A = this chain, B = another copy of it.
C-alpha cells in the first residue's frame, strides 16, 4: 500500500510500504477513509533532522474494518470506525480512569511496527479497546466532523474539561489554529457564556465566532493581556485554554487568568519550564491539561456530531489525496490552509 513518511524538516513523501496484516489476535486492519494533518505534525515538519530512513507519520484516521484478530469482539468486517490518536486496551486502570493516553498496554501510531494514519490502511493494535464504531456509511457527509473525534475536537474538549469550563466560567482561548477553534466549540458546548478568542488570522477567528467565541483579541503579548483584562474588568477569565504550545502563549495564559483560576494546556509544549512564581502562588493559579485521552470522550461527543449540534469538521478547509499530502503539509506550514483533510 501507499503511506506517508517524513524524512526530515520539509521532506514528506508518499511511498510504497508493506500492506498491514494481523500480527496479534487483538489486532484489526482498517482501510483508511479519511485522515488529516495535525498541527503537531508541523513540529517535526519544521525541525526534524534529515534522515536516510523515513518515519511513518499521521495519527488521526477513520476507516472501514477489513479484518480482525481472533480476540477482537464487537467489531467486524465492514464496520466504520474512528481511531483515537493513541491506541489503548481500554481496560487497564488508567483507561478505566479515562486516561487512555497512559494505557499500560497502549502506544502511538507510526512507531514500533504500527502504521501511521496518513496511508491507505493501518494495523490497529488493541483494536477492541481502541476503535469506536460509527453508525454512518462510507459516503457520509459527516466523515470530516467524525474524524475530529480522533484528535482535534477531543483535544479542544479535553482542554476545556480539564480547566473546569461550565456555565459559570469565563474562558480565554489562546490560539486560532484548529485546536484553538475546537476548544472554542467545546467551551461553548459545555455552556460557557463568555469566550474570548486570542488570534490574529481573521478567517480563522471568524470561524471561532461561528463556533461560539464572544470576543476576539488580535493583540499578542503584553498588549493582548491588557486587552483581555480590559474586557474582564481587570480580572481576567476563570479559565484559559492554551492551544499553541509556545512559551509566549503560556506567559499570556498566566497573564489573563483570574485569581483562583486555571490554565489548561493542550498545545504540545515547545518549552521545558514555566513561570510559577510567588505572584501565581499568591493568586492560587492552577496549571493543568496535557495530551488528550480522546478515547475517553468519543462516546460522549458522538451524538452531538451525529445530530449536527456541533460541526467540528469545519476546521478542514482543504482536501487532498495521498499524492497531495506533501503539498498539504506545506500549505499548513505556510498557513495557507487551517487543517488539511486526506482522502486516500
Contacts and interface: CB of A to CB of B under 8 A. Distances in A.
Question: Which of A102, A288, A290 has its CB near the most chain B CB atoms (within 10 A)?
Answer: A290
Contacts of A289: 281, 284, 286
A259 interface: yes
Contact of A275 (B273, B277, B281, B288): B273
Contacts of A285: 290
Given A273-B274, A277-B271, A259 B291 contact: no
A140 interface: no
Interface string A259-293: 11000010011011111111011111111111101
A102 B277 contact: no
A120 to B, nearest CB: 29
A94 interface: yes
A146 to B, nearest CB: 25
A102 B260 contact: yes
Interface in A242-268: 259-260, 265, 268
Contacts of A16: none
B99 A260 contact: yes
A97 interface: yes
A136 to B, nearest CB: 31
A101 interface: yes
Given A99-B259, A259-B102, A260-B94, A277 B286 contact: no
Contacts of A283: 102, 290
Contacts of A282: 101, 290-291
Interface string A10-45: 000000000000000000000000000000000000
A269 B286 contact: no
A285 to B, nearest CB: 7
Nearest to A285: B290
Contact of A269 (B162, B274, B277, B290): B277
* Leading 4 A-B pairs by shortest Cβ distance: A284-B290, A286-B288, A102-B259, A273-B273
Given A274-B274, A280-B290, A287-B288, 6 more contacts: A99-B260, A102-B283, A269-B281, A284-B288, A284-B289, A287-B287
14 contacts: A94-B260, A97-B260, A99-B284, A268-B278, A268-B281, A273-B275, A274-B274, A281-B289, A283-B290, A284-B288, A284-B291, A285-B290, A286-B288, A287-B288
